[in-house]
Protein backbone atom coordinates (compact mmCIF):
# COMPACT_ATOMS: atom_id res chain seq x y z
CA UNK A 1 0.00 0.00 0.00
CA UNK A 2 1.02 3.61 -0.59
CA UNK A 3 0.84 5.32 2.83
CA UNK A 4 -1.67 8.19 2.57
CA UNK A 5 0.26 10.59 4.82
CA UNK A 6 3.52 10.51 2.84
CA UNK A 7 4.06 12.97 0.03
CA UNK A 8 6.43 11.26 -2.39
CA UNK A 9 8.86 13.05 -4.66
CA UNK A 10 7.96 10.69 -7.49
CA UNK A 11 5.11 8.26 -8.05
CA UNK A 12 5.42 6.04 -11.13
CA UNK A 13 2.44 4.19 -12.55
CA UNK A 14 2.45 1.64 -15.33
CA UNK A 15 3.21 -1.84 -16.49
CA UNK A 16 5.53 -4.26 -14.74
CA UNK A 17 7.22 -7.33 -16.19
CA UNK A 18 9.48 -10.14 -15.15
CA UNK A 19 12.22 -9.79 -17.77
CA UNK A 20 14.11 -12.81 -19.11
CA UNK A 21 17.06 -11.36 -21.01
CA UNK A 22 19.43 -13.11 -23.40
CA UNK A 23 22.17 -10.55 -24.03
CA UNK A 24 25.44 -10.11 -25.95
CA UNK A 25 24.05 -12.15 -28.84
CA UNK A 26 25.97 -11.97 -32.10
CA UNK A 27 22.84 -12.72 -34.09
CA UNK A 28 19.25 -13.89 -33.76
CA UNK A 29 18.28 -17.52 -34.35
CA UNK A 30 17.01 -18.41 -37.80
CA UNK A 31 13.84 -20.31 -38.58
CA UNK A 32 13.77 -23.57 -36.63
CA UNK A 33 17.22 -22.84 -35.12
CA UNK A 34 18.18 -23.00 -31.44
CA UNK A 35 20.94 -20.78 -30.10
CA UNK A 36 22.61 -21.63 -26.77
CA UNK A 37 24.30 -19.04 -24.58
CA UNK A 38 25.50 -18.44 -21.03
CA UNK A 39 24.67 -14.72 -21.26
CA UNK A 40 21.33 -14.66 -19.47
CA UNK A 41 19.76 -12.49 -16.79
CA UNK A 42 16.42 -12.38 -15.02
CA UNK A 43 15.18 -9.10 -13.55
CA UNK A 44 12.00 -7.18 -12.75
CA UNK A 45 11.34 -4.64 -15.47
CA UNK A 46 8.91 -2.25 -17.07
CA UNK A 47 9.06 1.52 -17.25
CA UNK A 48 7.31 2.20 -13.94
CA UNK A 49 9.57 -0.23 -12.07
CA UNK A 50 12.92 0.81 -13.54
CA UNK A 51 12.23 4.54 -13.25
CA UNK A 52 11.10 4.16 -9.61
CA UNK A 53 14.18 2.14 -8.61
CA UNK A 54 16.57 4.48 -10.43
CA UNK A 55 14.95 7.50 -8.75
CA UNK A 56 15.14 5.85 -5.32
CA UNK A 57 18.83 5.11 -5.83
CA UNK A 58 19.30 8.79 -6.68
CA UNK A 59 17.82 9.76 -3.33
CA UNK A 60 14.17 10.50 -4.18
CA UNK A 61 11.27 9.23 -2.13
CA UNK A 62 9.65 6.98 -4.72
CA UNK A 63 6.50 4.90 -4.95
CA UNK A 64 5.18 2.68 -7.74
CA UNK A 65 1.62 1.82 -8.72
CA UNK A 66 1.57 -1.33 -10.85
CA UNK A 67 0.73 -5.02 -11.05
CA UNK A 68 3.89 -6.63 -9.73
CA UNK A 69 4.99 -10.24 -9.25
CA UNK A 70 5.98 -11.47 -5.79
CA UNK A 71 9.67 -11.34 -6.76
CA UNK A 72 9.22 -7.81 -8.04
CA UNK A 73 7.59 -6.66 -4.80
CA UNK A 74 10.47 -8.06 -2.73
CA UNK A 75 13.01 -6.32 -4.93
CA UNK A 76 11.18 -2.98 -4.75
CA UNK A 77 10.93 -3.15 -0.97
CA UNK A 78 14.65 -3.88 -0.77
CA UNK A 79 15.29 -0.77 -2.89
CA UNK A 80 13.22 1.40 -0.56
CA UNK A 81 10.39 1.87 -3.08
CA UNK A 82 6.85 1.86 -1.70
CA UNK A 83 4.53 -0.42 -3.70
CA UNK A 84 0.82 -0.22 -4.41
CA UNK A 85 0.33 -3.60 -6.02
CA UNK A 86 -2.79 -3.79 -8.21
CA UNK A 87 -2.32 -7.48 -9.09
CA UNK A 88 -5.04 -9.57 -7.50
CA UNK A 89 -4.73 -13.06 -6.12
CA UNK A 90 -4.35 -15.64 -8.89
CA UNK A 91 -3.71 -13.12 -11.66
CA UNK A 92 -0.63 -13.89 -13.79
CA UNK A 93 2.18 -11.35 -13.81
CA UNK A 94 3.44 -10.18 -17.18
CA UNK A 95 6.61 -11.71 -18.66
CA UNK A 96 8.95 -10.43 -21.37
CA UNK A 97 11.68 -12.37 -23.15
CA UNK A 98 14.34 -10.08 -24.62
CA UNK A 99 16.92 -11.03 -27.23
CA UNK A 100 19.58 -8.35 -27.03
CA UNK A 101 22.36 -7.77 -29.54
CA UNK A 102 24.81 -4.88 -29.49
CA UNK A 103 22.87 -2.80 -32.00
CA UNK A 104 19.35 -4.24 -31.86
CA UNK A 105 16.81 -5.96 -29.62
CA UNK A 106 13.74 -8.15 -30.05
CA UNK A 107 11.00 -8.79 -27.48
CA UNK A 108 8.28 -11.34 -26.89
CA UNK A 109 5.77 -10.51 -24.15
CA UNK A 110 3.02 -12.27 -22.24
CA UNK A 111 0.98 -9.30 -21.06
CA UNK A 112 -0.94 -11.05 -18.29
CA UNK A 113 -2.57 -8.70 -15.78
CA UNK A 114 -1.29 -5.62 -17.59
CA UNK A 115 -4.35 -5.69 -19.87
CA UNK A 116 -6.50 -4.79 -16.84
CA UNK A 117 -4.06 -2.27 -15.39
CA UNK A 118 -5.01 1.12 -16.96
CA UNK A 119 -8.52 1.22 -15.50
CA UNK A 120 -7.20 0.32 -12.04
CA UNK A 121 -4.53 3.00 -12.21
CA UNK A 122 -7.06 5.61 -13.35
CA UNK A 123 -9.29 4.90 -10.35
CA UNK A 124 -6.36 5.16 -7.93
CA UNK A 125 -4.48 8.23 -9.19
CA UNK A 126 -6.89 10.82 -7.70
CA UNK A 127 -5.77 9.61 -4.24
CA UNK A 128 -2.03 9.67 -4.94
CA UNK A 129 0.07 12.06 -2.85
CA UNK A 130 3.20 13.10 -4.67
CA UNK A 131 5.04 16.02 -6.21
CA UNK A 132 5.23 14.35 -9.62
CA UNK A 133 3.46 11.42 -11.30
CA UNK A 134 5.23 9.61 -14.14
CA UNK A 135 3.09 7.30 -16.31
CA UNK A 136 4.56 4.46 -18.36
CA UNK A 137 1.93 2.48 -20.29
CA UNK A 138 -0.39 2.70 -23.28
CA UNK A 139 -3.70 4.45 -22.46
CA UNK A 140 -6.76 2.90 -24.13
CA UNK A 141 -8.54 5.15 -25.00
CA UNK A 142 -6.82 8.52 -24.53
CA UNK A 143 -9.81 10.78 -23.76
CA UNK A 144 -10.39 9.84 -20.06
CA UNK A 145 -6.73 10.43 -19.25
CA UNK A 146 -6.84 14.07 -20.29
CA UNK A 147 -9.18 14.70 -17.36
CA UNK A 148 -6.88 12.71 -15.05
CA UNK A 149 -3.88 14.87 -15.98
CA UNK A 150 -5.95 18.04 -15.51
CA UNK A 151 -7.06 16.81 -12.08
CA UNK A 152 -3.45 16.18 -11.05
CA UNK A 153 -2.49 19.66 -12.19
CA UNK A 154 -5.29 21.24 -10.15
CA UNK A 155 -3.87 19.46 -7.10
CA UNK A 156 -0.43 20.93 -7.81
CA UNK A 157 1.02 17.62 -9.06
CA UNK A 158 3.12 17.70 -12.23
CA UNK A 159 3.07 14.81 -14.69
CA UNK A 160 5.07 13.09 -17.40
CA UNK A 161 4.35 10.19 -19.75
CA UNK A 162 6.41 7.67 -21.66
CA UNK A 163 4.01 5.87 -24.01
CA UNK A 164 6.61 3.49 -25.37
CA UNK A 165 6.15 1.95 -28.81
CA UNK A 166 2.38 1.67 -29.32
CA UNK A 167 1.35 2.31 -32.96
CA UNK A 168 -2.34 2.10 -32.11
CA UNK A 169 -2.10 5.42 -30.28
CA UNK A 170 -1.48 7.24 -33.57
CA UNK A 171 -5.02 6.33 -34.62
CA UNK A 172 -6.63 7.65 -31.42
CA UNK A 173 -8.21 11.06 -32.20
CA UNK A 174 -7.39 12.33 -28.68
CA UNK A 175 -3.77 11.20 -28.60
CA UNK A 176 -2.32 14.58 -29.56
CA UNK A 177 -4.39 16.36 -26.90
CA UNK A 178 -3.22 13.87 -24.26
CA UNK A 179 0.42 14.06 -25.35
CA UNK A 180 0.32 17.86 -25.09
CA UNK A 181 -1.47 17.87 -21.73
CA UNK A 182 1.36 16.38 -19.64
CA UNK A 183 4.09 18.61 -18.24
CA UNK A 184 6.79 16.53 -19.94
CA UNK A 185 6.54 13.97 -22.72
CA UNK A 186 9.32 11.36 -23.13
CA UNK A 187 10.00 9.80 -26.54
CA UNK A 188 12.85 7.91 -28.14
CA UNK A 189 13.91 8.57 -31.71
CA UNK A 190 11.63 6.00 -33.36
CA UNK A 191 8.65 7.04 -31.24
CA UNK A 192 9.26 10.70 -32.07
CA UNK A 193 8.98 9.80 -35.77
CA UNK A 194 5.97 7.49 -35.41
CA UNK A 195 3.84 9.69 -33.16
CA UNK A 196 4.53 12.80 -35.26
CA UNK A 197 3.90 10.87 -38.50
CA UNK A 198 7.17 12.13 -39.91
CA UNK A 199 9.93 10.25 -41.73
CA UNK A 200 13.00 12.21 -40.65
CA UNK A 201 14.20 13.26 -37.22
CA UNK A 202 14.50 16.87 -38.35
CA UNK A 203 10.85 16.99 -39.40
CA UNK A 204 9.78 15.20 -36.23
CA UNK A 205 11.63 17.72 -34.05
CA UNK A 206 10.00 20.56 -35.99
CA UNK A 207 6.61 19.02 -35.20
CA UNK A 208 7.33 18.53 -31.49
CA UNK A 209 8.88 21.99 -31.28
CA UNK A 210 5.34 23.37 -31.69
CA UNK A 211 4.13 21.52 -28.59
CA UNK A 212 3.00 23.80 -25.73
CA UNK A 213 5.06 21.93 -23.12
CA UNK A 214 8.51 20.26 -23.11
CA UNK A 215 9.07 17.12 -25.19
CA UNK A 216 12.23 15.12 -24.41
CA UNK A 217 13.61 13.02 -27.26
CA UNK A 218 16.14 10.33 -26.28
CA UNK A 219 18.66 9.66 -29.04
CA UNK A 220 20.90 6.97 -27.53
CA UNK A 221 24.53 7.49 -28.50
CA UNK A 222 23.61 10.90 -29.95
CA UNK A 223 22.48 12.19 -26.57
CA UNK A 224 19.12 13.85 -26.05
CA UNK A 225 17.05 16.87 -27.07
CA UNK A 226 14.30 18.85 -25.43
CA UNK A 227 11.96 20.95 -27.57
CA UNK A 228 8.52 22.49 -27.19
CA UNK A 229 7.23 25.12 -24.84
CA UNK A 230 9.68 27.61 -26.32
CA UNK A 231 12.64 25.39 -25.37
CA UNK A 232 15.31 23.95 -27.66
CA UNK A 233 18.22 22.29 -25.86
CA UNK A 234 20.52 19.34 -26.46
CA UNK A 235 23.05 17.35 -24.46
CA UNK A 236 25.72 14.96 -25.66
CA UNK A 237 25.77 11.37 -24.43
CA UNK A 238 28.67 10.18 -22.27
CA UNK A 239 30.77 7.30 -23.52
CA UNK A 240 29.67 3.91 -22.27
CA UNK A 241 30.60 0.32 -23.00
CA UNK A 242 27.12 -1.16 -23.27
CA UNK A 243 26.39 -4.75 -22.30
CA UNK A 244 22.60 -4.52 -22.62
CA UNK A 245 20.43 -1.48 -23.34
CA UNK A 246 17.21 -2.88 -21.84
CA UNK A 247 15.55 -0.17 -19.76
CA UNK A 248 18.08 2.55 -20.62
CA UNK A 249 15.31 4.94 -21.67
CA UNK A 250 13.46 4.39 -18.37
CA UNK A 251 16.71 5.02 -16.47
CA UNK A 252 17.14 8.24 -18.45
CA UNK A 253 13.64 9.30 -17.38
CA UNK A 254 14.59 8.84 -13.72
CA UNK A 255 17.77 10.89 -14.06
CA UNK A 256 15.96 13.70 -15.86
CA UNK A 257 13.11 13.79 -13.33
CA UNK A 258 15.47 13.58 -10.34
CA UNK A 259 17.37 16.66 -11.53
CA UNK A 260 14.18 18.55 -12.39
CA UNK A 261 12.57 17.76 -9.02
CA UNK A 262 15.70 19.03 -7.27
CA UNK A 263 15.27 22.36 -9.03
CA UNK A 264 18.17 21.99 -11.46
CA UNK A 265 18.06 23.44 -14.98
CA UNK A 266 16.63 21.54 -17.93
CA UNK A 267 20.14 21.38 -19.41
CA UNK A 268 21.40 19.73 -16.22
CA UNK A 269 18.40 17.39 -16.29
CA UNK A 270 19.29 16.26 -19.82
CA UNK A 271 22.89 15.63 -18.77
CA UNK A 272 21.91 13.60 -15.71
CA UNK A 273 19.38 11.65 -17.77
CA UNK A 274 22.07 10.83 -20.31
CA UNK A 275 24.48 9.75 -17.55
CA UNK A 276 22.02 7.49 -15.72
CA UNK A 277 20.80 5.97 -18.97
CA UNK A 278 24.39 5.21 -20.05
CA UNK A 279 25.36 3.73 -16.67
CA UNK A 280 22.34 1.42 -16.77
CA UNK A 281 23.72 -0.32 -19.87
CA UNK A 282 26.81 -1.63 -18.04
CA UNK A 283 24.93 -4.70 -16.76
CA UNK A 284 22.20 -6.89 -18.28
CA UNK A 285 18.62 -5.99 -17.43
CA UNK A 286 17.13 -2.67 -16.48
CA UNK A 287 18.04 -2.70 -12.75
CA UNK A 288 21.52 -4.11 -12.10
CA UNK A 289 23.50 -1.30 -13.75
CA UNK A 290 21.62 1.59 -12.12
CA UNK A 291 23.92 3.76 -9.98
CA UNK A 292 23.26 4.18 -6.26
CA UNK A 293 23.01 7.51 -4.52
CA UNK A 294 26.56 7.10 -3.26
CA UNK A 295 27.68 6.92 -6.91
CA UNK A 296 25.85 10.15 -7.67
CA UNK A 297 27.38 11.72 -4.57
CA UNK A 298 30.81 10.50 -5.63
CA UNK A 299 30.32 12.09 -9.05
CA UNK A 300 29.29 15.36 -7.40
CA UNK A 301 32.22 15.10 -4.96
CA UNK A 302 34.68 14.58 -7.79
CA UNK A 303 33.26 17.64 -9.52
CA UNK A 304 33.60 19.71 -6.36
CA UNK A 305 37.14 18.38 -5.83
CA UNK A 306 38.07 19.30 -9.39
CA UNK A 307 36.67 22.78 -8.85
CA UNK A 308 38.60 23.08 -5.58
CA UNK A 309 41.84 21.99 -7.28
CA UNK A 310 41.26 24.49 -10.06
CA UNK A 311 40.56 27.18 -7.47
CA UNK A 312 43.75 26.34 -5.60
CA UNK A 313 45.70 26.50 -8.85
CA UNK A 314 44.23 29.90 -9.61
CA UNK A 315 45.03 31.02 -6.06
CA UNK A 316 48.62 29.78 -6.40
CA UNK A 317 48.95 31.67 -9.66
CA UNK A 318 47.53 34.79 -8.02
CA UNK A 319 49.99 34.45 -5.11
CA UNK A 320 52.89 33.97 -7.53
CA UNK A 321 51.71 36.96 -9.51
CA UNK A 322 51.53 39.10 -6.38
CA UNK A 323 55.01 37.86 -5.42
CA UNK A 324 56.37 38.82 -8.82
CA UNK A 325 54.63 42.17 -8.53
CA UNK A 326 56.20 42.74 -5.10
CA UNK A 327 59.61 41.81 -6.49
CA UNK A 328 59.09 44.18 -9.38
CA UNK A 329 58.13 46.99 -6.98
CA UNK A 330 61.17 46.26 -4.83
CA UNK A 331 63.35 46.24 -7.93
CA UNK A 332 61.93 49.56 -9.04
CA UNK A 333 62.54 50.90 -5.52
CA UNK A 334 66.17 49.71 -5.60
CA UNK A 335 66.56 51.23 -9.05
CA UNK A 336 65.20 54.53 -7.79
CA UNK A 337 67.59 54.41 -4.83
CA UNK A 338 70.50 53.65 -7.17
CA UNK A 339 69.55 56.57 -9.38
CA UNK A 340 69.29 58.84 -6.34
CA UNK A 341 72.68 57.55 -5.12
CA UNK A 342 74.29 58.25 -8.46
CA UNK A 343 72.71 61.70 -8.42
CA UNK A 344 74.12 62.38 -4.95
CA UNK A 345 77.53 61.06 -6.09
CA UNK A 346 77.51 63.38 -9.10
CA UNK A 347 76.59 66.32 -6.89
CA UNK A 348 79.41 65.40 -4.48
CA UNK A 349 81.89 65.23 -7.35
CA UNK A 350 80.71 68.61 -8.68
CA UNK A 351 81.02 70.07 -5.18
CA UNK A 352 84.58 68.79 -4.81
CA UNK A 353 85.44 70.18 -8.21
CA UNK A 354 84.11 73.62 -7.26
CA UNK A 355 86.00 73.45 -3.95
CA UNK A 356 89.25 72.63 -5.79
CA UNK A 357 88.69 75.53 -8.17
CA UNK A 358 88.10 77.86 -5.22
CA UNK A 359 91.35 76.75 -3.54
CA UNK A 360 93.30 77.26 -6.77
CA UNK A 361 91.80 80.70 -7.21
CA UNK A 362 92.84 81.80 -3.70
CA UNK A 363 96.41 80.58 -4.33
CA UNK A 364 96.73 82.67 -7.47
CA UNK A 365 95.65 85.70 -5.54
Within this chain, do residues 202 and 276 fall inside the same structural domain, yes or no? yes
Residue 57 has a pLDDT of: 97
Within this chain, do residues 272 and 361 fall inside the same structural domain, yes or no? no
The confidence band for 103, taking pLDDT boundaries of 50, 70 and 90, is: confident
Indicate the residue among 259, 291, 323 that finishes a domain. Answer: 291
162 within a domain of the structure (yes/no): yes
- With a cut of 50, say whether residue 5 has pLDDT above it: yes
Within this chain, do residues 175 and 82 fall inside the same structural domain, yes or no? yes
Residue 240 has a pLDDT of: 87
- Distance CA(75)–CA(61), nearest Å, equals 16
| pLDDT per position as a tens digit, 133-144 | 999 999 989 999
309 within a domain of the structure (yes/no): yes
Percent of the chain at pLDDT > 70 equals: 79
Query: What domain count does the chain have?
Result: 2
Q: Are 280 and 255 in contact (CB under 8 A)?
A: no
2-to-72, 81, 180 alpha-carbon distances in Å: 16, 10, 28
Within this chain, do residues 115 and 171 fall inside the same structural domain, yes or no? yes
Within this chain, do residues 81 and 212 fall inside the same structural domain, yes or no? yes
Residue 332 has a pLDDT of: 67
Indicate the residue among 247, 265, 291 that finishes a domain. Answer: 291
Residue 310 has a pLDDT of: 57
- Distance CA(143)–CA(71), nearest Å, equals 34
Within this chain, do residues 58 and 145 fall inside the same structural domain, yes or no? yes
Within this chain, do residues 133 and 257 fall inside the same structural domain, yes or no? yes
Within this chain, do residues 349 and 216 fall inside the same structural domain, yes or no? no
3 within a domain of the structure (yes/no): no
Least confident of 57-66, 155-164, 231-240, 316-325: 316-325
Residue 301 has a pLDDT of: 44
349 within a domain of the structure (yes/no): yes
223 within a domain of the structure (yes/no): yes
Residues of the domain holding 313: 305-365
359 within a domain of the structure (yes/no): yes
- With a cut of 90, say whether residue 99 has pLDDT above it: yes
Within this chain, do residues 126 and 165 fall inside the same structural domain, yes or no? yes
**198: CATH:** 3.40.1190.20
- Distance CA(132)–CA(50), nearest Å, equals 16
- With a cut of 90, say whether residue 18 has pLDDT above it: yes
Residue 4 has a pLDDT of: 52
Residue 341 has a pLDDT of: 62
In sequence order, which ranges of the chain are alpha helices (DSSP H)?
Answer: 47-57, 70-78, 117-124, 143-154, 175-179, 189-196, 201-209, 248-261, 266-280, 293-364
Indicate the residue among 261, 291, 321 that finishes a domain. Answer: 291
DSSP line for 143-183? HHHHHHHHHHHHTT-EEEEE--S-GGGGG-TTHHHHHTTSS
Residue 298 has a pLDDT of: 47
Within this chain, do residues 250 and 365 fall inside the same structural domain, yes or no? no
133 within a domain of the structure (yes/no): yes
Residue 359 has a pLDDT of: 56
Residue 133 has a pLDDT of: 98
Average pLDDT over residues 26-45: 93
Within this chain, do residues 106 and 158 fall inside the same structural domain, yes or no? yes
Average pLDDT over residues 263-277: 98
For residues 153, 158, 163 and 164, what is the CA-based torsion angle, rounded to 10 degrees? 180
Residue 244 has a pLDDT of: 86
Within this chain, do residues 281 and 204 fall inside the same structural domain, yes or no? yes
298 within a domain of the structure (yes/no): no
Average pLDDT over residues 141-163: 97
Amino acid sequence: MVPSRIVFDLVTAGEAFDDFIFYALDRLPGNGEELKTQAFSRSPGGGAIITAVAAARLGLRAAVVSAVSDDGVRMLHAEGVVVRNLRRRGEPAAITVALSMRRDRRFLTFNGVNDSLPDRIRRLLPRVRGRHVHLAFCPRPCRPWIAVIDQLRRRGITSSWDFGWNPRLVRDPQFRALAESVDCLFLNRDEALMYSRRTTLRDALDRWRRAPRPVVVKLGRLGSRIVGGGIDLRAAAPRARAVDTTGAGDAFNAGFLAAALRGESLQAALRLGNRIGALSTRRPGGIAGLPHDRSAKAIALRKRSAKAIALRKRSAKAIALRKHSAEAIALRKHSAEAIALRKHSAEAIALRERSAEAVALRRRR
